[in-house]
Amino acid sequence: MSFDVDLFVIGGGSGGVRAARMAAATGAKVALAEDSRLGGTCVIRGCVPKKLMVYASAFREMPGEARAYGWDIADGRFDWPSFRKTLHGELDRLEGIYRRLLEGSGVMIHDQRAHLVAAHRVALADGTEVSAKHILLATGGRPERPEMRHAELGIVSDDVFLMETLPKSMLIVGGGFIACEMACILNGLGVAVTQFYRGAQILRGFDDEARGLVAEAMKAKGIDLHVGTNILEMGPADQVMWQGAVGDNMADAAPEPAAPLPRGPVRVKASNGTERVFDAVLFATGRAPNSRNLGLEDLGVQIGRRGEVVVDAYSQTAVPSIFAVGDLTNRVNLTPVAIREGMAFVRTVFEGVPTPVDHDLIPSAVFTQPELGTVGLTEEQARDLEPIEVYATSFKPMRSAFAGSSDRVLMKLVVSQATRRVLGCHIVAPDAGEMIQLAAIAVKMGATKEDFDRTVAVHPTMAEELVTMRAPVRKA
């Protein structure tokens, strides 16, 4: 049977673009459809603009620190419209690069929505149908709003980069890495930030000691953090507060409102007994896979409880011709993982080398202030599996100590008593993301604590503590 293309990719984010380019490099005829902007969440409304905002927000403390080092420098004023213009110019540039890379690889780009009509057939929004030997789904995920009355008054992470003006005050709802990163960014840009999280501590799933230090640092920098707290009711500040249960009368909640950003002021009644008005409310309460309206269920593709496309170790669905990678599968929702999954798919299908996806020992970073870098098991996870030793130290780094700052860092290794392998490494410090990338190489290779000990320290640095800790602080 002949097909129009060898591979049709639905989704132009990092995973889809990498798979399309690699497949085309094997000589395959490839097409790709994207109904938004090439680059996907990471490049357009996620990692890249977020990191640029992290850089911008960090300059707030620079004048004070510089004065401590003898510089005669005055506090400045942040210009959001100027930054926003430059930011979107950079995103346009990056999107152009993605388009040129695809075109240069010979990939046919369809700037429109696509859905499946058969196991080997894709329909485009303009009515065109394309037959494909293989179909790769890489549609990513989307931020969710909670099911409550007037949730449309809040914004989500996608909206932050579109705000025309910075609000004076903002409530951020959530305790995951997106919520905490946004809290630090906006606080650094001069917004009065309040954060609610319904759990006992932010950054669930990360090492308890590390996330505790991050929480304390966030509060020390002026973020009004409330754990064990959630919104009971919310509504326009100029209207009487609506009384009712969360989730009632959802017909009045618009999932994608078109009002200017932000949409405040918003009156919020919280479970801690407070009632306040905020210029804006940001919901960072979770993301969901973009599996809706793709025609999957009718073809026999299995959809999980949270809307994820269920795949095997080779990213193949229950329909042999259909594969899925990235956040759509809700395995490990990180951009580099989506790229690796796309690469493994091409190796398996187009290069004839069956390559399962390796999700073991994936490093990650949370770009709070200070940053949190992590790879491997947390102390809590490891001690449930086997006897361990914990090596940890917390101290004021030289740079901030000289400037009179109270900032502290954490260096922590979780070690197996039996094998001496380093099971986990956790760093809370400025540039922890840079450090954990390098530490992850050693952890992935199976380095032991003695391998770390044999490594000569680079002095004076923060990271030297990773190779100078000799005695465990506790065993479990």
By annotation, the residues acting in catalysis are 459
Cβ distance 309 to 288 under 8 Å? no
Cβ distance 396 to 424 under 8 Å? no
* Sign of the alpha-carbon dihedral angle for 325, 326, 327, 333: positive
For residue 142, list its beta bridge partners. 288
* Sign of the alpha-carbon dihedral angle for 287, 160, 197, 333: positive
Cβ distance 162 to 256 under 8 Å? no
Sheet architecture: strand order including 155-156:
155-156, 280-283, 169-173, 192-197, 224-227
Q: Residue 421 has what DSSP assignment?
A: B
Give the whole-angstrom CA distance, residue 429 versus residue 398: 12
Amino acid, res. 262 = P
Contacts for 104-107: CB closer than 8 Å, 24+ residues apart: 105/20, 105/21, 105/24, 105/25, 105/30, 106/24, 106/30, 107/20, 107/21, 107/24, 107/30, 107/31, 107/32
Nearest to 11 by CA among 32, 26, 41, 31: 32
The set of residues, in sequence order, having a beta carbon less than 8 Å from that of 400 and lying 6+ positions away, is: 65, 406, 407
Give the whole-angstrom CA distance, residue 139 versus residue 10: 6
Token representation of residue 378: 């947390």
Token representation of residue 457: 């320290």
Helix-helix angle 80-104:14-25, to 10 degrees: 20
Q: Residue 435 has what DSSP assignment?
A: H
Nearest to 235 by CA among 152, 144, 158: 152
Cβ distance 399 to 450 under 8 Å? no
Token representation of residue 61: 């403390």
Scan for tokens 């949270």, then name that residue: 306
